[in-house]
Amino acid sequence: MKKVILSLVIVTAMVFTSCKNEGKKETNTNKTEVSKELATTNISFGVRGNCGMCKKTIEKAAKNVEGVATASWNVDRKKIDISFDNSKTNAMEIHKAIAASGYDTEKAKGDLDAYNNLPGCCKYDHSMKMNQ
């Protein structure tokens, strides 16, 4: 009988110890997630372009900037929505990266050599309205 009681005490102690450690892990994870959220910035701005190929190139240029988490360009509105870690980059760096791929943004003119190398369907009107 003493062995049974002793075994139950040991098993109970192990269960409580295990639960206690799991609680600590959850707390640490939540703190990490909160700090990631605090560093995230969301911006939207106009980018000139025409088609689905433009969309792919513009989004890729933005996502290649260190710290950019998401980038989605709307073909109809000529607008990009970006989420990035502001401790790793800033909005102007993203404008510059998109411009380097040949596309005009609200704050940066597209690189002419890159523009000239775009497919014909991607050669946009440089006076087109952005961010409608």
10 and 48 part of one domain? no
**Pairwise CA distance, residues 7 & 15, whole Å:** 12
Domain count along the chain: 2
- Do 83 and 94 meet the contact criterion of CB atoms below 8 Å apart? no
Q: Taking 50 as the threshold, does the pLDDT of residue 44 lie above it?
A: yes
3-state secondary structure of 112: helix
- Do both 60 and 105 map to the same domain? yes
The alpha-carbon radius of gyration of the chain (Å, integer) is 26
Q: Residue length, the chain?
A: 132
> Between 28 and 65, whose confidence is greater?
65
Amino acid at 40: T
Of the candidate ranges 26-40, 43-57, 90-104, 117-131, the one whose mean pLDDT is the lowest: 26-40
Same domain, 55 and 45: yes
Burial readout 21-40 (b: 16 or more C-beta within 10 A, e: otherwise)? eeeeeeeeeeeeeeeeeeee
Asked if 102 and 64 sit in the same domain, the reply is: yes
Residue range 113-131: average pLDDT?
91
